[in-house]
Structure 1
Amino acid sequence: MWSWRSPATTARCCPPSKRRVCARWASNLHRIWSRWPKKKGVESVARFFGRKCATELRTECGPAALICANNVLAHVPDLGGVLEGCRIATEPEGVVSIEVPYLVHLLEGLEYDTIYHEHLCYFSVRALADAFGRAGLAIFDIERLSVHGGSLRILARAGSRHAEVVDRMRQTERKKGLEDLATYRAFAAAVAKNRTDLRRILRELKHKGKRIAAYGAPAKGNTLLNYCGIGTDLVEYTVDRNPFKVGTFTPGMRLPVREVALLLEDRPEITLILPWNIASEIIEQQKDYVEKGGQFLVPIPQPRVVGDR
């Protein structure tokens, strides 16, 4: 098995006899995490993956029965090279499992904050089927996932004919207007309205004397903060559980990033949830904050205040 993105986590799901994992990490992550997967019996390899790398790794490690690439395909500039590499690296009946955020959910859920520089592609089933087909991979199943606001898990192997599920989902996409320019113009108009509504709500809360903080410092949060122009004039600070982020500032709008414990100590009346896709989990974690009168503002798809008040 070869895994990208979270190889140590993936390896724990496999029997020890199958844990021969070659993991391609981004160079910056490799320096931080490579020691930890190795302790778990996972070999970590930092290389840019493509046709040449796949051939070399197949020679070094043997062909893969399973390749997992979760939430990485949208980040690679050489899409064809990565997919062809997956075909080259797998054994004849080997499986390629790839997870990507789904364009349908992005449009219907107004998930515009997931559009940022690290993401080079936003995938429909039509686009995926064409890309996989050109790489000599046949899709035999597609699973719908709730992660990241709505994702797809594509299961494929070497071949030339996609399963019927691909045609069914392409037809559904066509009916939803994914091939019509008007759909994307309507999306742009809805995004602009969301910005107007969110800024209006924040200003109204400030006018009422409410103190506002934020929760999280994810990449998507920085898209929202910068696009909506939300700085320290509206939100005092944000909190995050990642110790590597605490003590820094959000890019652009320069919100200080503090420890999560400050939320309960400082008790701002309103907390804007930046990783809205896990809002229910965050609210559950912060039950004490809510019980003491705190409320949360969820910005997407429509700004709404949630809490016990």
Structure 2
Amino acid sequence: MNNTTESFAVGTENDVQSRKLRVTRTFILITLALTTYFGNTLILVSLKKFSKYLKGTPFILMGNLAVADLLLAVGLSLEVLGTIFLSLEINTFFCVVKVIVTGVSLGTSGKLLIFISFDRFCAIMFPMKHLTHSQKSRCRRIHIAIVWIISVLVVLIPAFVNLRSSKVLEDCNFGRKIPAGMGMCASVFILLQFAINIIMCLIVMRKLKTNTLSRQKCKKSMIKCGHLIKGYVLFVICWMPFVVTSILVTFSEEKERYASVREYTIAPGLFNSAMNWVIYGCANIKLRTAFKSILLCRNGQELFSVGHFRAASSEKYSIQNDQKSKL
């Protein structure tokens, strides 16, 4: 009798802890999804409303990044539904859709971040060529379309292979169900992405220190590069646990053990991707101006006009100071 009572008490305690964990997980997912919806929708509305001022390759890339991150918000919403309604977690169709949406979002956003760094690199190192190339909208559309197509195919092909082989997905967790080969490829891509971006930023910063631009313009470019480097350092910190566990899943003998650990290590990476609108959107002064205009219901035309006037005045003043110092 005592043993039965003790077992019942232990079972009840475990159920309570499990329920608390589910409630906490659901709350975090809902908060993250709502924040992602809000921030990336704000970017898209800003690009649409102030298209006269927010134009060019950087803002087009930011718009595509916002769309990719909205897909992540959809994936997080599906995760919330799976946490609330446990029967969905064993539904093959639901699981495949969630994995596809999340995988396409992460793959596209990673490639777009490389494009954003490369665009900044070319704008400073080869300004005339960059200006000419950025005006070729057809070429730019083709490049962005290729990014989306590759990201979709990389995720869709393994998903359809699993369906054709009649594999029933017993667990719908994204981090746990990534194939070992795909996880390893993603890890290599993440490390290469970080290395390439940091190298480009360091080359640009070295170039800026020895250039003949005005002090004000040089300072602004240095600040932008600093923001990019901080963003990429945060990126690798958040994704490094996933990289390590993916390598262990590929080469270790205890694959199942590390696969179960990977479902938790992917959480910081998802959080990092969900916060792209803060890391890259809010770091842009024009987008910040657009955000203020929309959220405070102000006249955006006046805000941008004042901002451009101040920027032009400070640039003119810095040029005059540089000329005087040379004399």
TM-score (norm 2): 0.26
Higher percent of residues as strand: 1
Q: Which has the larger radius of gyration?
A: 2
Higher percent of residues as helix: 2
